[in-house]
């Protein structure tokens, strides 16, 4: 690796490009445990960025700091240049951050179609009340919503399951539905926590294809993934976390060569 490449792969690297999301020296502790320890990286607009690292590295906690589930002890998270750390999850979502969870949060007692419609309604909040005050527009708003549900069902190839209850879906199908619920909110950045973990290989390929297609249409994607091959095959940029720190970030082929990354994955990296 050249000196330049090493610099590009160094921790705390920013992309120097057009950052949609900036994570700046974020720290989150639980009692005495430092779960996130100065994490710093950028997510470039319209990129697919992968966040990788061994179990317990702090990836999910960092997602929670970005999406308002946790308030960081210190550090900043910026979206389009505006600080969003400490905002509520609803406020972060309203600003255009959509996220899925390691364990899908879909409604088992609602149909697939209802799950999607409900996600959009939940997001519009008080705006959803406005049409009620203008009775004439109710039907057209409802029609628009159903059209968007149909488009999302088609995009995710879930049409055939539209009227099934959430409880009838496989784990992989539930992950697709959760992605659908996020898409119904029309987010600027889609954050996914281990979207393909536990998903069968053909559904994994489907899901990764959908993500690439969304990216082709200009969406920014940040996803946590444990499997190096998935990350290396689908990401423009990779951020490696270990012991709460962002060890390295850069294009996959450069990060892959980074000795510290290799050591972290071989389990030989201990401070
Ligand atoms: P990863 O997603 O990379 O596997 P996590 O962010 O889930 O890692 O966890 C990082 C560390 O923080 C782990 O040691 C985990 O046990 C701890 N941790 C995560 N969430 C909590 C919590 N709510 N309370 C206490 N400790 C937590
Ligand atoms: Mg996790």
Q: How many domains does the chain have?
A: 2
Once rounded to an integer, what is the mean pLDDT over residues 136-165? 87
Q: Are residues 163 and 231 in the same domain?
A: no
pTM of the model: 0.85
> What pLDDT sits at residue 43?
97
Residue 175 lies in a domain: no
Q: Are residues 8 and 88 in the same domain?
A: yes
Percentage of the chain surpassing pLDDT 90?
Answer: 56
Ligand 1 pocket residue status of 30, Cβ below 6 Å: yes
Cα distance between residue 75 and residue 23, in whole Å: 8
What separation in Å is there between the alpha carbon of 194 and the centre of ligand 2? 7
Q: Are residues 11 and 96 in the same domain?
A: yes
Q: Are residues 156 and 212 in the same domain?
A: no
Residue 77 lies in a domain: yes
DSSP output for the chain: --HHHHHHHSTT---SS-EEEEEEEEEEEETTEEEEEEEEEEEETT-EEEEE--TTSSHHHHHHHHTTSS--SEEEEEETTEE-TT--HHHHHHTTEEEE-SS----TTSBHHHHHHHHHHHHHGGGGGHHHHSGGGHHHHHHHHHHHHHHHHHHTT-GGGTTSBGGGS-HHHHHHHHHHHHHTT--SEEEEESTTTT--HHHHHHHHHHHHHHHHTT-EEEEE-S-HHHHHHH-SEEEEEETTEEEEEE-HHHHTT-HHHHHHHHT----
- Over residues 243-260, the pLDDT tens digits come to 999 988 889 888 888 887
Residue 143 lies in a domain: yes
Q: Are residues 49 and 155 in the same domain?
A: no
Higher pLDDT, 105 or 154: 154
Which atom from ligand 1 is nearest to the alpha carbon of 244?
10
CATH number, domain of 85, equals: 3.40.50.300
- Over residues 121-140, the pLDDT tens digits come to 655 444 444 545 555 556 77
DSSP output for 180-191: HHHHTT--SEEE
Ligand 1 pocket residue status of 204, Cβ below 6 Å: no
Q: Are residues 71 and 164 in the same domain?
A: no
Cα distance between residue 84 and residue 71, in whole Å: 10
Ligand 1 pocket residue status of 244, Cβ below 6 Å: no
Among all bound ligands, the one having the nearest atom to the CA of 239 is 1
Higher pLDDT, 2 or 158: 158
Ligand 1 pocket residue status of 54, Cβ below 6 Å: no
Q: Which of 84-93, 184-193, 213-222, 246-255 has the lowest mean pLDDT?
A: 246-255
Range of the domain at 26: 3-106+182-264
Ligand 1 pocket residue status of 53, Cβ below 6 Å: yes
Which atom from ligand 1 is nearest to the alpha carbon of 102?
2
- Over residues 63-77, the pLDDT tens digits come to 999 999 999 999 999
pLDDT at 270 over 60: no
């Amino acid at each position: 690796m050249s000196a330049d490449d090493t610099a590009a792969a160094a921790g705390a690297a920013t992309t120097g490009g057009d950052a949609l999301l900036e994570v700046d020296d974020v720290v989150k502790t639980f009692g005495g445990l430092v779960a996130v320890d100065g994490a710093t990286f950028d997510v470039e607009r319209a990129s697919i960025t992968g966040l990788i690292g061994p179990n317990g590295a702090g990836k999910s906690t960092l997602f929670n700091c970005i999406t308002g589930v946790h308030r960081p002890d210190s550090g900043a998270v910026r979206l389009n240049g505006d600080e969003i750390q400490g905002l509520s999850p609803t406020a972060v979502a309203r600003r255009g951050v959509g996220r899925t969870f390691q364990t899908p949060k879909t409604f088992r007692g609602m149909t697939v179609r209802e799950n999607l419609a409900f996600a959009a309604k939940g997001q519009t909040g008080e705006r959803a009340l406005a049409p009620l005050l203008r009775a004439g527009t109710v039907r057209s708003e409802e029609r628009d919503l159903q059209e968007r549900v149909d488009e999302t069902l088609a995009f995710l190839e879930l049409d055939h399951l539209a009227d099934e209850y959430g409880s009838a879906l496989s784990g992989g199908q539930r992950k697709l539905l959760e992605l659908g619920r996020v898409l119904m909110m029309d987010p600027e950045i889609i954050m996914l926590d281990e979207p393909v973990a536990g998903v069968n290989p053909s559904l994994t390929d489907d899901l990764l294809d959908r993500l690439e297609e969304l990216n082709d249409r200009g969406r920014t994607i940040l996803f946590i993934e444990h499997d190096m091959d998935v990350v290396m095959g689908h990401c423009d940029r990779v951020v490696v976390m270990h012991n709460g720190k962002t060890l390295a970030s850069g294009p996959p082929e450069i990060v892959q060569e980074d000795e510290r990354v290799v050591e972290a994955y071989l389990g030989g990296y201990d401070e």
